[in-house]
Amino acid sequence: MEDKKFILIEEAIKKGKGKVSVRGWVYRERGSNEFKFIILRDASDIIQCVLERKKFERQWKEIDKIQIETSLKITGEIKKDKRAPTGYEINVDEIEIVGKSENFPIQKTLNEELLGDRRHLWLRSRKMNSILKIRSTVIGALHEYFRSKGFYEFQSPIIIPGGAEEGPTLFEVNYFGRKMYLTQTWQLYAEAAMYSLEKIYCVAPSFRAEKSKTNRHLAEYWHTEMEVAWADLDELMDYAEEMIKHVIKRVLEKNRKELEILKRDIKKLEPSLKKKFPRIRYDDVLKILKNKGINVPWGKDLRTIEEEKFMEDYDTPVFVTNYPKEIMAFYKPRDPKNPKTALCFDLLAPENNHEIIGGSVRETNIEELKKSLKKKGEKIEDYFYYLDIHSYGAIPHGGFGLGTERLIKWICGLDDIKDAIAFPRTISRWRP
């Protein structure tokens, strides 16, 4: 089979007639005495291929034995066929078996645990192939968005001496005999770099030793973060909203086919492109919940069920702002107009997807920072650099962090965040 120009299955289908050469893996197969039907897959799509015994008498023994995931090169005539899964069929003239596959361990129905154990093979499924393509679009669109807005890409360290969102969810690292940690956020280093570059972003792994098993927590996730000089809370929310809209727009442009394979109802995403995301204060969320018969005492964080009740009236993400200062991270400043609350927001996504972004203006008053750190039981010495950066020419600024897999979960309509990443890490899933 020399001198063949192999094309993608997607391109062959577009061509629609004439001779084509494609290569890939057997997705499904069935045979009779006279015929072998193979559904071939490559990165781009699947196509039905028919082999007639009378054309392949010499090779038939081999062909008859072809199983799922055998790799093949095929040349033949492509034509329309309504009965074929993607509407086209190749009548095969030549076949070359490249790599054998016997007893592929994923057949029809495996439970989630077993699929998780065979994740390295499950990536070949149409479901994972589609999600990974959408994930690639999402991450590409995030970079594209920030770069188009004049942001520099900035990287912070992954191994850190301390200083974090929440102490209990830090992963320890043995660092040459010294206790260090895996980062939960780039933020504190990003603020240092903000004083140099003003507008920065990154898409990088963050780590959280989350002990609770939910469908939206990973131990290792890709955190899309940004930090901007001179920004106030409204400006931060403008960026967040525009970023989400840009990502959805790109996915709808590039991944219609994948969304269809995932059976995602695109109508559920469209309102988020067209409508402005509401901005509602925590105080008002409590009032709305009260009208629904749910009493949340002022000062308590919203629980899963309360967020779901609140979000049932919305078909776009909603910004909830001004959470109680006392339950917020030490770097979130008081709102001078409502000092019991902080200048911060969470962006909650519809369809029970909960918080996908957390952001805030940053405290720059050294005394306030020290007070909050002490209250949280942190050691001031661990934060010397953070206090140092705000000692020289402090300015108003802020930023946010997006859980990239949470966004992918929502866009794809997934039940579990584990499917938004190729090799998930959770408390109970750590291999392969």
- Which residues are at the interface with ligand 4AD (CB under 6 A)? 165, 184-185, 187, 208, 210, 217-218, 221, 223, 225, 355-359, 399-401, 403, 405-406
Stretch that binds Mg ion, among 261-269, 288-296, 306-314, 354-362 (CB under 5 A): 354-362
Instruction: Please give the Cα distance from 9 to 73 (Å, whole number).
Output: 12
Q: What number of H helices and E strands is found in the chain?
A: 14, 18
Quick one: 75 or 341, whose CB is closer to ligand 4AD? 341
Radius of gyration of the chain (CA): 26
Quick one: 116 or 401, whose CB is closer to Mg ion? 401
Quick one: 106 or 209, whose CB is closer to ligand 4AD? 209
What region, left, alpha or beta, does residue 335 occupy, with left being phi > 0 and alpha being psi -120 to 50 degrees? Answer: beta
Residue 53 has what DSSP assignment?
A: G
Quick one: 90 or 164, whose CB is closer to ligand 4AD? 164
Q: Which of the choices ligand 4AD, Mg ion, none does residue 36 contact, using the CB cut-off of 5 to 8 A by kind?
A: none
Residue 403 is a binding residue for Mg ion (CB under 5 A): no
Match 């149409």 to its residue by tokens: 126
Give, in order, the Cα–Cα distances in Å from 180 to each of 100, 170, 291, 330, 373.
47, 9, 47, 21, 19
Instruction: Please give the Cα distance from 383 to 390 (Å, whole number).
Output: 11
Quick one: 41 or 406, whose CB is closer to ligand 4AD? 406
Quick one: 123 or 296, whose CB is closer to Mg ion? 296
**DSSP string over 129-173:** HHHHHHHHHHHHHHHHHHHHTTPEE----SEESS--S-GGGPPEE
The residue ranges of DSSP E strands in 318-406, in sequence order, are 318-321, 334-335, 338-342, 344-349, 354-361, 397-403
Quick one: 63 or 356, whose CB is closer to ligand 4AD? 356
Q: How far is the CB of 186 from ligand 4AD (least distance, A)?
A: 7
Residue 354's Cα: distance from chain center in Å?
14
Q: How far is the CB of 299 from ligand 4AD (least distance, A)?
A: 18
Q: Which of the choices ligand 4AD, Mg ion, none does residue 223 contact, using the CB cut-off of 5 to 8 A by kind?
A: ligand 4AD
Q: Which of the choices Mg ion, ligand 4AD, none does residue 41 contact, using the CB cut-off of 5 to 8 A by kind?
A: none
Q: How far is the CB of 342 from Mg ion (least distance, A)?
A: 12
Q: How far is the CB of 78 from ligand 4AD (least distance, A)?
A: 43
The sign of the torsion formed by the CA atoms of 392, 393, 396, 400 equals negative
Q: Which of the choices Mg ion, ligand 4AD, none does residue 193 contact, using the CB cut-off of 5 to 8 A by kind?
A: none
Report the interhelical angle of 282-291 vs 304-311 (nearest 10°): 80
Residue 358 is a binding residue for Mg ion (CB under 5 A): yes
Q: Which of the choices ligand 4AD, Mg ion, none does residue 232 contact, using the CB cut-off of 5 to 8 A by kind?
A: none
Q: How far is the CB of 169 from ligand 4AD (least distance, A)?
A: 8
Q: By the criterion CB under 5 A, which residues form the site for Mg ion?
A: 358
